[in-house]
């Protein structure tokens, strides 16, 4: 059963090849045997209760398309009555009193939550080594990182211990782990999926999305995730289509742009070969390839690492040891309560970004740093607007290298460079995808697809057609 796609599982439930309870128990058994540390919480009892309810709905014909389908939920989405930790000691004991809109949507579909996946603390990281619960391991090589911050979700899907998982992408945290673990990951246009109940890192950048094995599965899941939410002031009122409707369109005449800045020094030769071979496959399907320029994309790292820390320093100010979350023992006074609760509750990377953000927003530095970063952000957005006047889709690498060894990158700045090809998409609020495109050094490599605003249908169609012609997305780790 675990080798079936979401589409295959839907068909199996419909044909009564298995029940939701049988399916759920099968995945729970696999999770409990896994050595990847992909889950923070495994919700066995809740999952089986939801599966039983789903089977009753199916028997009565009251089911929806996704009723009875199990999934893994990134532990950044609030789930009523279940621990929501955001990978942090600060929220290790936090039991959410309410559901995030996305959690509510899945519950309304009578889907089955297997558990909450491991992640970099407050979604800050590119390797999933910043979690309070320890690093997640890459299922292709247990000595390698899975990518972050949605590394637990990516590892769970790649190792077939969950049919699909949710992720969040602030600067590449869906696409980068999807690439390094060999799965399909979609970051939709900013505002396409509600952020209500999703613990905030950087509010103008955070976006939820599906992490699946195939583009078809991503389209199916996105149908359940997308839509306007009055509880989220950044939620788009734009009508959401059925994302499965355009999957079979021909790519003949599709105009693909290759940014010359993405194929410069720093890109691993093996990764570049995989990407260019994938581009040739698209050419064989009738796509037209041309070079484009995104000159300001190379400023994405300094721009992002001003904007995001500034927003995180504001968002994380609510964790003060007073209202909820970790509280230090026996504080001497209020200042001591604040100081020790935050210094003991937050990890090193979170504290580093809070300090950067607080500094950049301070009097005398706001104009020099934050305001200037916002201006460069606009220039990055304008580059994409210009490029999309001549092409339909932009393609390139997701990560400059395949997955690296756990613990091998000590310098924070070197770690930040792992996001060089993904950050600009978030800064511009565009949709982006990573799809399996091959292997380098026996490790998966993803191809990045970037679309104009609200072009998820085109990206999914472009990805699906590639997956009909190739079988990279069907590859599974040796450990399985």
Q: Which residues partner with 167 through β-bridges?
A: 209
Q: What crossing angle do the helices spanning 372-387 and 300-315 adopt, rounded to 10°? A: 130
390 catalytic per annotation:
no
Phi/psi of residue 257, each to 5°?
-105, 135
User: For residue 170, what is the DSSP state?
Assistant: S
Identified catalytic residue from 19, 173, 297, 399: 173
What is the C-alpha to C-alpha distance for residues 307 and 318, in angstroms, rounded to an integer? 19
Structure tokens that stand for 239 in this block: 């009508």
User: Could you tell me if 321 and 333 are in contact, meaning their C-beta atoms sit under 8 angstroms apart?
Assistant: no
Q: 3-state class of 198 per DSSP?
A: strand
Phi/psi of residue 356, each to 5°?
-60, -45
131 catalytic per annotation:
no
74 catalytic per annotation:
yes
By CB neighbour count within 10 A (0-12 exposed, 13-18 middle, 19+ buried), where does 375 fall?
A: exposed
Long-range contacts: 231-239, Cβ < 8 Å, 24+? 231/101, 231/194, 231/196, 232/101, 232/194, 232/195, 232/196, 234/190, 234/191, 234/195, 234/203, 234/204, 235/191, 235/194, 235/195, 235/196, 236/189, 236/191, 236/192, 238/191, 238/454
My answer on whether omega of the bond before 149 falls inside 30° of 0, hence cis, is: yes
What is the C-alpha to C-alpha distance for residues 146 and 148, in angstroms, rounded to an integer? 7
Q: 3-state class of 13 per DSSP?
A: helix
Q: With left for phi above 0 and alpha for psi between -120 and 50, is residue 68 left, alpha or beta? A: left
Sheet containing 165-168, strands listed edge to edge, beginning at the edge strand earlier in sequence: 39-42, 112-117, 70-74, 165-168, 208-212, 184-187, 432-440, 443-451, 393-397, 255-259, 288-292
Q: Give the C-alpha distances (Å, rounded to integers) separating 307 from 58, 339, 421.
A: 47, 24, 17
Identified catalytic residue from 103, 131, 149, 159: 149
Give ∠ CA 39-103-316 in degrees, rounded to 5.
Answer: 75
What is the C-alpha to C-alpha distance for residues 424 and 302, in angstroms, rounded to an integer? 11
Element of type H or E holding 49 = helix 44-60
Identified catalytic residue from 5, 19, 34, 74: 74
Residues taking part in catalysis:
74, 149, 173
């Amino acid at each position: 059963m675990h080798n079936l796609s979401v589409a295959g599982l839907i068909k199996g439930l419909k044909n009564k090849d298995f029940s939701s309870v049988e399916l759920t128990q099968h995945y729970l058994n696999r999770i409990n045997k896994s050595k990847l540390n992909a889950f923070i919480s495994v919700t066995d009892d809740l999952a089986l209760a939801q599966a039983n309810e789903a089977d009753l709905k199916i028997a009565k014909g009251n089911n929806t398309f996704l009723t009875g389908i199990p999934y893994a939920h990134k532990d950044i989405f609030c789930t009523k009555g279940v621990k929501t930790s955001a990978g942090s000691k600060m929220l290790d004991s936090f039991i959410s009193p309410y559901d995030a809109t996305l959690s509510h949507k899945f519950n309304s579909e009578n889907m089955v939550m297997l558990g909450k996946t491991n992640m970099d603390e407050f979604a800050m990281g590119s390797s999933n080594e910043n979690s309070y619960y320890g690093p997640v391991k890459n299922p292709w090589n247990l000595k390698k990182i899975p990518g972050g911050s949605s590394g637990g979700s990516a590892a769970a899907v790649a190792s077939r211990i969950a049919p699909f998982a949710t992720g969040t992408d602030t600067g590449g945290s869906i696409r980068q782990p999807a690439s390094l673990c060999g799965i399909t990951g979609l970051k939709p246009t900013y505002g396409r999926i509600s952020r209500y109940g999703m613990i905030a890192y950087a509010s103008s950048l955070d976006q939820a999305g599906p992490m699946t094995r195939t583009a078809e599965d991503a389209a199916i899941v996105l149908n359940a995730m997308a839509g306007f939410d009055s509880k989220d002031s950044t939620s788009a009122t734009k009508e959401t289509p059925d994302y499965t409707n355009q999957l079979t369109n021909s790519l003949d005449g599709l105009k693909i742009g290759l940014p010359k800045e993405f194929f410069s020094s720093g890109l691993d030769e093996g990764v570049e070969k995989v990407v260019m071979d994938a581009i040739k496959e698209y050419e064989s399907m009738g796509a037209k390839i041309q070079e484009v320029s995104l000159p300001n994309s190379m400023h994405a790292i300094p721009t992002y690492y001003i904007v995001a820390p500034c927003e995180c320093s504001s968002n994380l100010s609510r964790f003060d040891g007073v209202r909820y979350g970790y509280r230090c023992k026996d504080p001497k006074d209020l200042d001591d309560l604040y100081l020790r609760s935050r210094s003991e509750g937050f990890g090193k990377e979170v504290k580093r970004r809070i300090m950067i953000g607080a500094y950049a927003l301070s009097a005398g530095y706001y104009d020099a740093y934050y305001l200037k970063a916002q201006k460069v952000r606009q220039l990055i957005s304008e580059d994409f607007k210009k490029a999309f006047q001549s092409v339909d889709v932009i393609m390139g690498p997701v990560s400059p290298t395949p997955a690296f060894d756990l613990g091998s990158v000590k310098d924070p700045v070197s770690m930040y460079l792992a996001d060089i090809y993904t950050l600009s998409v978030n800064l511009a609020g565009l949709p982006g995808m990573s799809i399996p495109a091959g292997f380098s050094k026996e490790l998966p490599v993803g191809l990045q697809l970037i679309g104009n605003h609200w072009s998820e249908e085109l990206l999914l169609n472009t990805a699906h057609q590639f997956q009909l012609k190739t079988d990279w997305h069907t590859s599974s780790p040796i450990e399985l």
